Amino acid sequence: MLTLSLNQRAALLSVLLLVVGLLAWEAAIPAQKAVGELTEYEILTGAGAPKAGVPPPSQVIAKAWEQLSDPFYDAGPNDKGIGIQIGYSIYRVLTGYFLAALVAIPLGFLIGMSPVAYKALNPFIQVLRPISPLAWMPLALFIIGDSEASAIFVIFICSIWPMLINTAFGVAGVREDWINVARTHELGALKTAFTVILPAAAPTIVTGMRISIGIAWLVIVAAEMLVGGTGIGYYVWNEWNNLDLTSVVFSILMIGVVGMLLDAMFGLLQRRVTYVE
Residue ranges that bind other proteins, judged by CB under 8 A: 177-178, 180-181, 183-187, 195-196, 199-200, 202, 273, 275-277
Q: Which residues contact 30 (CB under 8 A, 6 or more apart)?
A: 53
Nearest to other proteins of 147, 270 (CB atom): 270
Mind giving me the DSSP string for 83-121? HHHHHHHHHHHHHHHHHHHHHHHHHHHHHHH-HHHHHHH
CB of 128 to other proteins, least distance (A): 33
Helix (H) or strand (E) holding 256: helix 245-273
CB 94 within 8 A of CB 261: no
DSSP, res 18: H
Nearest to other proteins of 152, 196 (CB atom): 196
CB of 80 to other proteins, least distance (A): 45
CB of 192 to other proteins, least distance (A): 11
Nearest to other proteins of 33, 272 (CB atom): 272
Nearest to other proteins of 122, 180 (CB atom): 180
Nearest to other proteins of 15, 181 (CB atom): 181
Nearest to other proteins of 171, 221 (CB atom): 171
CB 92 within 8 A of CB 233: no
Name 80's bridge partners. 74
CB of 186 to other proteins, least distance (A): 5
CB of 211 to other proteins, least distance (A): 22
A 10 A CB-CB count for 17 gives 10
CB of 107 to other proteins, least distance (A): 23
d(CA 242, CA 62) in angstroms, rounded, equals: 18
CB 82 within 8 A of CB 235: yes
Nearest to other proteins of 36, 188 (CB atom): 188
A 10 A CB-CB count for 186 gives 8
**What length does the chain have?**
277
A 10 A CB-CB count for 137 gives 20
CB of 85 to other proteins, least distance (A): 40
